[in-house]
Structure 1
């Protein structure tokens, strides 16, 4: 029996799937925000590392510093999901 090989997911696809999973599980975790779950942290880490690699690949100066910064994972957590306030609706662009 032959094994079917599936194409790999892009970083953007992985991030989207992880964020969706984080939003699904967070309500069950009593006060833990989606971005604080393993899935949410993983999504942000993949996104940050992919961005760092893009910068390095495009010839950005000091590639080792870019890599160190990405690996340190010291940036603030970015929120996942819809905002809890109506602010987003207030600044929605006109069509």
Structure 2
């Protein structure tokens, strides 16, 4: 089965239809031999502690990485730019 990830920042929940999520759980389950995923990916995925949620509305083979329901929406590009601008040092007069 090919699994496609659909990411919406910030990721706080992973949802997929039952068969796809079961396949993902199997991929992420620690095994003596890891034939399907890189060690780096497995270590990252196991360390996140994201809730895994069955969602029968998602097509087979797709995994949605999404905010927890009720979480605030992600920042817009303009909000991120304003935030980063505020972190930049102000230009000193006469410099």
Normalized against structure 2, the TM-score is what? 0.26
Q: Select the structure with the greater relative contact order (CA < 8 A; seq sep ≥ 6).
A: 2
Look at both structures and tell me which one has the larger radius of gyration over its CA atoms.
Answer: 2
- TM-score w.r.t. the length of structure 1 is 0.26
More strand by share: 2
